[in-house]
Amino acid sequence: MVATDFPSGNTPLEHHDPELFNLIEHEKNRQWKCLELIASENFTSRAVMDCLGSCLTNKYAEGYPSARYYGGNEVIDKIESLCQSRALQAYGLNPEEWGVNVQPYSGSPANFAVYTALLRPHDRIMGLDLPSGGHLTHGFYTYSKAENTRKAVSATSVYFESLPYRVHPETGLIDFDKLAESAALFKPAMIVCGGSAYPRDWDYESFRKIADDNGSLLMCDMAHYSGLVATKEHKSPFELCDIVTTTTHKSLRGPRAGMIFYRKDARGFENKINQAVFPGLQGGPHEHQIAAIATQLKEVMTPEFKQYVVQLKANCKALAAFLMEKGYVLATGGTENHLLLWDLRPVGVTGSKMEKLCDEVCITLNKNAVLGDRSALTPGGVRVGTPALTSRGFKEADFV
DSSP letter for 136, please: G
Q: How many CB atoms lie within 10 A of CB 35?
A: 16
35-44+303-399 has which fold?
Aspartate Aminotransferase, domain 1 (3.90.1150)
For range 220-245, the mean pLDDT: 98
Task: Write down the domain spans for the chain.
Answer: 35-44+303-399, 55-300
3 state DSSP class of 192? strand
> Cα angle at 365 between 361 and 367, to 5 degrees?
115
The domains spanning 35-44+303-399 and 55-300 adopt the same CATH topology = no
pLDDT at 2 over 70: no
pLDDT at 347 over 60: yes
Q: Provide the annotated active-site residues.
A: 60, 62, 221, 247, 250, 256
> What separation in angstroms does the CA of 357 have from each of 27, 32, 54, 330, 360?
19, 19, 39, 19, 5
pLDDT bin (cut points 50, 70, 90) of residue 376 is: low
pLDDT at 17 over 90: yes
308-344 confidence digits (pLDDT tens): 999 999 999 999 999 999 999 999 999 999 999 999 9
Residue type (1 letter), 396: E
Which residues contact residue 204 at a Cβ distance below 8 angstroms, ignoring those fewer than 6 apart? 193, 220, 235, 237, 239, 240, 241
How many Å apart are CA 391 and CA 48, to the nearest integer? 14
pLDDT bin (cut points 50, 70, 90) of residue 237 is: very high
For range 50-77, the mean pLDDT: 97
> What separation in angstroms does the CA of 328 have from each of 320, 338, 347, 351?
9, 18, 8, 14
So what's the architecture of 55-300 in CATH? 3-Layer(aba) Sandwich (3.40)
Largest CA distance in the chain: 73
pLDDT at 285 over 90: yes
| Nearest C-alpha neighbor of 102 from the set 70, 80, 128, 125 | 80
186-197 confidence digits (pLDDT tens): 999 999 999 999
Q: How many CB atoms lie within 10 A of CB 99?
A: 19
135-174 confidence digits (pLDDT tens): 988 887 777 676 777 777 788 888 999 999 999 999 999 9
pTM of the full structure: 0.95
